[in-house]
Amino acid sequence: MQTSDIQVINTVTPKGDGEKFTINFTTQTDDFSIGSGRILLTASEMAEVTEFNKAETILNKLKEVIK
């Protein structure tokens, strides 16, 4: 999977007592698709994220949790 396979839908800021940001996305490759994906990031992780590297952030987070 590559960053070009990921489409960011939106980013949601924490609500109430919540501390995690949510990035919603979809992805499709020749082998599989995710119709509605979501990653959660802390404020410190989100501080590193820009509009231009959200897909890379998603890919890196997926690699981190799927080993």
**Which 3 state secondary structure label does DSSP give 64?**
helix
pLDDT value of position 67: 79
**pLDDT at residue number 33:** 92
- Residue 38: its pLDDT value, please? 95
pLDDT beyond 90 at 1: no
For 9-56, the pLDDT digits (tens) are 999 999 988 899 999 999 999 998 989 999 999 999 999 999 999 999
Task: Say how many residues make up the chain.
Answer: 67
DSSP state of 18: -
Between residues 27 and 67, the one the model is more confident about: 27
3-state secondary structure of 11: strand
